[in-house]
Amino acid sequence: MKYDVYGVGNSLVDIQAHVSDDFLASLKYPKGGMTLVDEPTQIQVLESLNNGKAAKITRCAGGSAANTMMGLVDFGGKGAYAGKTADDEIGQFFLADMRDQGIRIEVPAIQGQSGTCVILITDDAQRTMLTHLGVSSQLGPDDIDEAEIAQSQYVYVEGYLFTGDSTKQAALKAIDLAKKNGVKVAFTVSDPFLIDLFRDEFWKLIEGPVDLLFCNLDEARSLTGKQDPIECAHIIHEYAENVAMTLGADGSILMHEQKVIPIEGVPTKAVDTTGAGDMYAAGVLYGITNGLSWHQAGHLASHAASRVVSQLGARLERPFTKEEIAELMA
């Protein structure tokens, strides 16, 4: 296969900023959550950050599925991606950043404002996200490339796409084309609030075309109405062939062939939890498309998630070397 994974998601430039609790409180958005904002609000927040409200600001190509694809290629995997950008400076930055890492992305840019996600990080390592989707919300079915999907082992779709009709149709088309071409489907539910909005649609996917479901414990509890992690995982595994459920510092649970595969957590000092789940998904997807066992893939994913939360941003500042991966697998 030409690609390990074909990712589909919102194309956003992540702008990470360290801020005080007082500044965050002044914005009156829920701490630790993700809020969709309009363009004027995003511009106002960015102006405040540039005027000294942030201790440090960095940026990189982002969005949930894009973060996972970046992690995949950092491990040595091969990926393609579908996401919409504008022909502005932010969009050009996004495309260059993705392509420089070796990810193929050929969706044509359009006029407008590219999407951004301002990630406000406080001293307790909590991250509060303000997202302006921009033209990323205009990704549509025509942007999905069947030839690229047919050359992939997995299609990976983020749940955030279900918040817009056009992006939802793009996600569903990618899933349909994957099934048509014998390609496996991985899906992440992305956020507990999405389950409240799209519970029936998500369960329809889990019961149908999804071969691998990614979720965290809160999302699993919301999906199942149960509290115990093992019980949640078993219920989801009755319908999804494979399940990868993260448990924060307690590690994760993989479900494969009716077996529970517990994966240990890797202790670390959390600096920024942005992208922990995305990086975990990257480790699992890289592993299962490159000859690792499910336990090995989970082991790698756990170490990767731990490393990414010990730094600022969703991109690994120090990617794993081939030697490190080999040592972990041993």
Q: What is the pLDDT of residue 51?
A: 86
Q: What is the pLDDT of residue 237?
A: 97
Sign of the four-CA dihedral 214, 217, 223, 226? positive
**Hunting for tokens 């965050």 — which residue is that?**
24
Taking Cα atoms as reference points, which of 76, 73, 99 lies closest to residue 11? Answer: 99
pTM, full prediction: 0.91
Residues 284-306 have pLDDT tens digits of 999 999 999 999 999 999 999 99
Per the CB < 8 A criterion, the answer to whether 294 and 288 are in contact is yes
- Among 140, 179, 129, smallest CA distance to 14 is for 129
Proportion of the chain above pLDDT 90, given as a percent: 80
Q: Rounded CA gap, 87 and 138, in Å?
A: 13
pLDDT at site 71: 96
Residue 154 pairs in a beta bridge with: 5, 184
pLDDT tier, 1 (very low <50, low <70, confident <90, very high otherwise): confident
What local confidence, expressed as pLDDT, does residue 310 receive?
85
How do residues 236-295 score in pLDDT, each as one tens digit? 999 999 999 999 989 999 999 999 999 999 988 887 777 899 999 999 999 999 999 999
